[in-house]
Structure 1
Amino acid sequence: MAKVLLLSAAPNVRVADPTYNSPLKRLQACVPRDRFGVHGVVDDPLAADVILFVEYRPAGRYLHDVRSHRYVLRHREKCFTFCSEDAPIPFLPGVYPSIEARWHDPRRTASGHYLRRLGVDPVPFDPLAEEARPYLFSFVGRLATAPVRGRLRALDGPASPILATDAEEAAVEAGTLPRGPYWERFADVVRRSAFVLCPRGYGPGSMRLFEAMAMGRAPVILSDAWVAPEGPEWERFALRVPERRAADLPAILAAASPHAVEMGRLARAAWEAWFSPEVSFHRLVEACLALRSRRVLPERLARLPAALQVLRPTHTWPYLREVLIRHGVSDLLHRRP
């Protein structure tokens, strides 16, 4: 049994989007529902075996507040993070649902699922209902966040709806559009689909994958850099299609359609076993313990190669921007190289 301290280093930011600062709350809500009952929570960092920082946007993309936290400075070897930022730099060991494959080190990083909407979806999904599935496949989401998403627009048709929601999702997050109708439309389209497309966005991970699994629909993963979380037998219920073959999806999925219902059933079973509220706390703690068991170097040394990613062009300016904001040097933010 591991004693776990759950916390966030992020400020308690109040914003219109209720998912903005919610992963810690979602995971805390999973603790009393934990079906395993192996691990427990504590409030004392000295008594904790694992100190798990559960973070999303308010902590910053580069986890400055976590890295400078007194618990990390004093107890670095037992500190881990859950961070669902897109394409993150793993400054701490932990679970990163959108870690890029080329930067994934199984001694320090694990892939995983998203917590932001876990167990709080406003539309009750019934994965066992046997509705008619007139759509071979569908996608509801933003199309501007990755090239592969933009290419899906050409596949839109009566049996394959591709619904762009870029403006709608932005309005929902800003609080100017009710969340309920958006989710009702999303759930209705997914229920009527044999397959649900799960393309990468800004990062290689996608919440659509886990939403499709929760609804008992076969997911189609279009993300070359995605790292599959350990545990589920993904090949039994999910199709992984290279991004360059997005145009071939109608033929690929038509050939697989006789197996879609069974794949959806297996997808729901895998979600219940690995990603549901009843198992999330246990699975995340086990992932941290597995990373600790694989540790070869002390974390104070093992973290250094990951930190060098700051020098990558995609990270250098965003990283400096966060540093400037933290130090109140806002007048330089408009001067981009």
Structure 2
Amino acid sequence: MQIRFLTPGEVPLASDDVSLIESIRSELLDRPGVQEAHSAESADALVIHEPWAFREWRYIDRLLADPVIGPRPHKVYTINSDDAGTGLLRGAYCCIPARRFDPQLHAAVPFFLAPNETVLAHAGRPREAPTLLASWRGNPKSNRPLRSQLLEAYANCESIKVEWTDSWLDHSAEEKLHYVQLLRSAKFALCPAGWAPASFRIFESMALGIAPVIIADEFVAPAGPDWRSFSLQVKEADLWALEPILERHVDRHEEMGALAHQAWCKYFKPSGLVAYYANALMACIGANTGSTATSEVKRWRSHRTYSGNGWTLPQRALNRIRRAMHA
């Protein structure tokens, strides 16, 4: 297997932060049968770390205009952390919605970076018996309909504590500690969708030994753990019925929390994430059989891809109307 790892000097669409792709490069080149290709032409696979961005339909033209990617789109594999990955390129996605996910093309992966170091400092520590059934603290702006409903539904609830904040990945040390304390005070951690179905909170609760309650209809679970053993998936439409749903599982909250932490240690602990990402990429590469440049561009331009991303002309027109009404 000949792999070329694309740098921003070679492909301007690649992330300027090369630390992650360099780590994955070292991991893969240590594996039997994997070698570094010295050119795009000789490579079996081209791996790119895309920078975080909001990508719209014109991004296809940018990919095809790139002199490295354009002639060989069927060989390109991404590492992508966009809030709602488009699924255009094959590869590993932190936040790809279920409607865009194809297991033959994509792999769901956990977030590589942990923005709250206080979570890691408390991972695995014993905690006092939780007094709350569930808790949540977050910014409602990232999903105003769902998260605003959560705040409204449980504003005066004694067993479920919800808090909102205006901070966005710029939390003070005090806020980070309070967030951890709030999580640890509850039997379950509420994990509503934000900009994307996946959220840091899912993996943070696992690290702290708390069962996550995933309220995100389009969440795609990263492979490995037995998610049903330690997490609950609640439909967004059932948000108002959280109390009775959680009460049905409350007797298992300690067992579920312990299993959540075990799964995090086995699959998602920071020390093992490079290998996890590398495995995900190799699985995507191995599943690519019979694809050609023509068939890949056809997939990019397909109605399924456009409609799944909200890129069709009617969808774009409707979005403009919604933005105008909101303004």
Change (3 A) 1:193 1:70: farther
Q: Offset of 1:48 from its aligned partner? A: 6.0
Matched, 1:155 2:154: yes
Report the counterpart of residue 129 of structure 1 in structure 2: 125
Taking the aligned partners of 1:247 and 1:200, their CA distance within structure 2 comes to: 15
Q: Offset of 1:253 from its aligned partner? A: 1.4
8 Å CA contact 2:92–2:107 kept in 1: the answer is: yes
Q: How does 1:283-298 map to 2 (within 5 A)?
A: 283-298=276-291
Change (3 A) 1:49 1:305: closer
What SS does the aligned partner of 1:90 have?
coil
Q: Offset of 1:88 from its aligned partner? A: 2.5
TM-align CA RMSD: 3.5
Deviations along 1:103-146, whole A, 9 cap, x unmatched?
2211111212112337x725543232221212211111122333
Q: Offset of 1:29 from its aligned partner? A: 5.6
Q: Offset of 1:56 from its aligned partner? A: 3.5
Shifted more, 47-56 versus 286-295: the winner is 47-56
Matched, 1:88 2:89: no
Shifted more, 279-288 versus 216-225: the winner is 279-288
Taking the aligned partners of 2:44 and 2:306, their CA distance within structure 1 comes to: 30
Change (3 A) 1:313 1:229: closer
Change (3 A) 1:129 1:158: farther
8 Å CA contact 2:188–2:210 kept in 1: the answer is: yes
Q: Which runs of 5 or more residues in structure 1 are unaligned?
A: 14-20, 173-177, 321-333
Matched, 1:206 2:204: no
Q: Percent identity over the alignment?
A: 24
8 Å CA contact 2:188–2:253 kept in 1: the answer is: yes
Deviations along 1:211-265, whole A, 9 cap, x unmatched?
1112221111111112222221111111111111111111221221221122112
8 Å CA contact 1:112–1:229 kept in 2: the answer is: yes
Q: Which runs of 5 or more residues in structure 2 are unaligned?
A: 317-323
Change (3 A) 1:67 1:159: farther
What SS does the aligned partner of 2:181 have?
helix
Taking the aligned partners of 1:101 and 1:226, their CA distance within structure 2 comes to: 6
Change (3 A) 1:255 1:7: farther
State the structure with bigger RCO (CA 8 A, min sep 6), 1 or 2.
1
Report the counterpart of residue 331 of structure 1 in structure 2: none
Shifted more, 1-10 versus 130-139: the winner is 1-10
Report the counterpart of residue 217 of structure 1 in structure 2: 210
Change (3 A) 1:243 1:4: same
What SS does the aligned partner of 2:112 have?
coil
8 Å CA contact 1:131–1:191 kept in 2: the answer is: yes
Q: How does 1:225-240 map to 2 (within 5 A)?
A: 225-240=218-233
Taking the aligned partners of 2:14 and 2:282, their CA distance within structure 1 comes to: 28
8 Å CA contact 1:72–1:79 kept in 2: the answer is: yes
Change (3 A) 1:49 1:135: farther
Shifted more, 259-268 versus 298-307: the winner is 298-307
Report the counterpart of residue 321 of structure 2 in structure 1: none
Matched, 1:243 2:236: yes
8 Å CA contact 1:101–1:227 kept in 2: the answer is: yes
Taking the aligned partners of 2:70 and 2:102, their CA distance within structure 1 comes to: 23
Give the TM-score taking structure 2 as reference length: 0.77
Change (3 A) 1:233 1:312: closer
8 Å CA contact 1:5–1:48 kept in 2: the answer is: no
Change (3 A) 1:116 1:307: farther
Taking the aligned partners of 1:296 and 1:114, their CA distance within structure 2 comes to: 28
Change (3 A) 1:52 1:216: farther
Taking the aligned partners of 1:274 and 1:265, their CA distance within structure 2 comes to: 14
8 Å CA contact 1:5–1:45 kept in 2: the answer is: no
What SS does the aligned partner of 1:252 have?
helix
Report the counterpart of residue 169 of structure 1 in structure 2: 168
Taking the aligned partners of 2:201 and 2:112, their CA distance within structure 1 comes to: 13
Matched, 1:314 2:310: yes
Deviations along 1:185-218, whole A, 9 cap, x unmatched?
2111112221111111222222211111122211
Equivalent residue pairs, number:
302
Shifted more, 219-228 versus 140-149: the winner is 140-149
Q: Offset of 1:73 from its aligned partner? A: 3.5
What letter matches 2:188 in structure 1?
A: F
8 Å CA contact 1:2–1:38 kept in 2: the answer is: no
Report the counterpart of residue 280 of structure 1 in structure 2: 273
Taking the aligned partners of 1:179 and 1:51, their CA distance within structure 2 comes to: 39
Report the counterpart of residue 185 of structure 1 in structure 2: 178
8 Å CA contact 1:38–1:282 kept in 2: the answer is: no
Change (3 A) 1:161 1:284: same
Change (3 A) 1:260 1:41: farther
Q: How does 1:51-70 map to 2 (within 5 A)?
A: 51-57=46-52, 60-62=54-56, 68-70=65-67
Taking the aligned partners of 1:27 and 1:190, their CA distance within structure 2 comes to: 32
